[in-house]
Amino acid sequence: MRYRIVCIAIIILVMTLLQSCTDIMCLLSGYNPSQIRSELDTPEPGTRLTARSKLVLNHASRYAANPDSVYDTKKNLLTLIKPYVRSAEDINIDAEGYEIPVRLYCNSKDDDLNGLPVILYFHGGGFIWGDIDIFDAYCRKIARETGTIVVSAGYRLAPEHPFPAAVNDAWAVLEWANSNIGDHGGNPGKIIVMGESAGANLAAVVTIMSRDSCGPPVSAQVLCCPVATFREKVFPSRRYFMLEGKTYMISEDYMYRCKESYLPDSIDLSHPYISPLEAEIDNTFPPALVITAQVDPLRDEGRAYADKLEEFGVDVIYREYEGMIHAFMNFYPFLEEGKMAIEEVNRFINKL
């Protein structure tokens, strides 16, 4: 027991040192700090990476072929500093002949398990990659910081399960939470859907479905670096950050691979359950927090979706984090802006 405590103390000390000095992070990672700082300009005038964002990009080996390889790095690093929560329970949700794995996180004492807010979390990965284990540390952090019950959904992935499998799974998890989360100490009247990238698309879609179907109700939506549309649109962020030879976490090849895997050839790309940006919006939609990264091909479609919600009378908070890259919130131990964004989520939920 004493050895474990000492190891944890050492890890905390090392992380504190790393967080306090970017140069130390560079040197320990095998990079020259001066070289890192000389490579921060981006193709878009007026935007620059932070040094730590650049360091994360450098660690994402083979990201031009597989942007999600960056998560392999994240998984290895965060295994050592997995946030503690009082409970992390795996269950399976029955959904018409198959089961959806979910993990429930909560850091509240048993005496406080009564009517807690609930976050339904849908992970990123382009609809073709990811699971609840890979995003375990991040969901633990969200549960700790927000004081909520986090329900992380392991939805089915393409190409084995193309659209609408992931959407159907997300909807099934919402229905389950509405009917059963009270048994786990949650408040079915305060369900927040949250996701990142592809997961943010699912969070936005189930919110639209809730409006279309008159429930189950969604109290709020938190959309982080969302995939808002699959239609071909000339967003400046896509043009600048998917140039040949310049990849900022998401390459053009990878985006098309995800699209081809997830969507059947004959599908209507303007369908609102595929492209939320194309949906009809009204002021009955729940409040939204939309978070984007400045140096991200998906930045402008996230901003466009926030603008559209606001245009039609929805309460929206929009935040763009300068110098950040796609999925930056997952790297909160190394990116201060990731911590700031998580704190933003907490403030948003507390005001509901």
Say yes or no to pLDDT of 341 above 60. yes
Q: Are residues 8 and 119 in the same domain?
A: no
Active site residue 197: yes
Q: Bridge partners of 150?
A: 105, 119
pLDDT in tens, 107-146: 998 877 889 999 999 999 999 999 999 999 999 999 999 9
pLDDT of residue 97: 85
Q: Are residues 13 and 152 in the same domain?
A: no
pLDDT of residue 10: 46
Q: Are residues 89 and 214 in the same domain?
A: yes
Catalytically annotated residue among 59, 123, 161, 326: 326
Write out 86-120 in H/E/C secondary structure: CEEEEEEEEECCEEEEEEEEECCCHHHCCCEEEEE
Q: Are residues 170 and 228 in the same domain?
A: yes
Tokens of 133: 């284990």
pLDDT of residue 5: 47
71 lies in some domain:
no
Q: Provide mean pLDDT across the span 2-13.
A: 47
Percent pLDDT > 70 in the chain is: 85
Are 212 and 345 spatial neighbours (Cβ–Cβ below 8 Å)? no
Domain range enclosing 18 = 1-38
Q: Are residues 304 and 253 in the same domain?
A: yes
pLDDT of residue 63: 45
47 lies in some domain:
no
Percent pLDDT > 90 in the chain is: 73
Q: Are residues 33 and 86 in the same domain?
A: no
- Look at the chain and report how many structural domains it folds into: 2
Tokens of 332: 């909160």
Q: Are residues 249 and 172 in the same domain?
A: yes
Name the more confident of 13 and 245.
Answer: 245
Least confident of 28-32, 248-252, 332-336: 28-32
Say yes or no to pLDDT of 280 above 50. yes
pLDDT of residue 330: 93
Q: Provide mean pLDDT across the span 37-54.
A: 92
pLDDT in tens, 253-267: 889 999 999 999 999
Active site residue 184: no
Say yes or no to pLDDT of 32 above 90. no
209 lies in some domain:
yes
Name the more confident of 5 and 243.
Answer: 243
Q: Are residues 29 and 87 in the same domain?
A: no
Mean residue pLDDT of the chain comes to 88
Catalytically annotated residue among 68, 136, 169, 296: 296
61 lies in some domain:
no
Active site residue 326: yes
Are 24 and 299 spatial neighbours (Cβ–Cβ below 8 Å)? no
- The label of the residue with tokens 């009564």 reads 114
65 lies in some domain:
no
Catalytically annotated residue among 152, 197, 237, 275: 197
Q: Are residues 131 and 220 in the same domain?
A: yes
Q: Bridge partners of 54?
A: none
Domain containing residue 334: CATH number: 3.40.50.1820
Are 158 and 261 spatial neighbours (Cβ–Cβ below 8 Å)? yes
270 lies in some domain:
yes
pLDDT in tens, 167-194: 999 999 999 999 999 999 999 999 999 9
